[in-house]
Amino acid sequence: MTSLTRPPLPAAVLWDMDGTLVDTEPYWMAAEVELVTSFGGVWTHDDGLALVGQGLWISAGILKSRGVDLAPDEIVAWLTDRVQHQLQEVGVPWRPGAKELLAELRERGIPTALVTMSVRRMAEQIVATIPFDAFDVVVSGDEVADPKPHPEAYLKAADLLGVDPRHCVAIEDSVAGLASAVTSGATTIGVPHIIPLPETDEHVLWSTLAGRTVDDLVELATARTAAL
């Protein structure tokens, strides 16, 4: 009888973008304030926090309910334009340790995917600034029927990479993102940024990616898979 050898773990690392890979959440929150204010409404910091990690069309519905008299597609396009303008004018603000860990993954030959609820044109703008071949696939919010916290985006990324999501590691910064990744079956790491994340047995919390290495990911994925 021939035994099957499991491939090295993790089979892939799946990255959230906004707030995890890059610190773009302040850009989004500023754009939301500008948009709501332009229609005579009020949008607070807490209102912005409530949208962190949500799908853009869900956010558009909430903004519309607060007086933004535009169609959901127009709201998504307007917000994306404003954030992309900030990225172009100010630059791409990386989260601590993210670029270094991503670069080490590529050096070690571990497949990677970017799994974001932002639209593809913004994801591609950010990916284009990375000075190495960073991602094998990109799954964006305008390419899935169900946004996070639904697992569709992570399941699609694993499928495109040809790997079992249960053998992957996902890195997230939002409650919705954590739920999406956990439900997909991936070993999930939460890295809190502007909102607190719950402590549960379903995921691991790291305070930062700074100083973290591929060996840390290997150890985590191996231990989690052995426990299944």
Residue by residue, pLDDT tens for the chain (228 residues) are 333 445 678 999 999 999 999 999 999 999 999 999 999 999 999 999 999 988 999 999 999 999 999 999 999 999 999 999 999 999 999 999 999 999 999 999 999 999 999 999 999 999 999 999 999 999 999 999 999 999 999 999 999 999 999 999 999 999 999 999 999 999 999 999 999 999 999 999 999 999 999 999 999 999 987 777
Q: Which regions of the chain carry the CATH code 3.40.50.1000?
A: 12-22+94-227
CATH assignment, 12-22+94-227: 3.40.50.1000
Residue type present at position 49? L
Domain 25-90 classification at class level: mainly alpha
Which bin fits 206, alpha (ψ -120 to 50), beta or left (φ > 0)?
Answer: beta
| CB neighbour list of residue 131: distance below 8 Å, 6 or more residues apart | none
The token pair at 187 is 């070993």
CA atoms within 13 A on the CB side of 188: 28
Residue type, 133: D
Among residues 41, 42, 63, the alpha carbon closest in space to that of 54 is found at 63
CATH 1.10.150.240 domain span(s) along the chain:
25-90
> Taking the model in full, what pTM does it have?
0.91
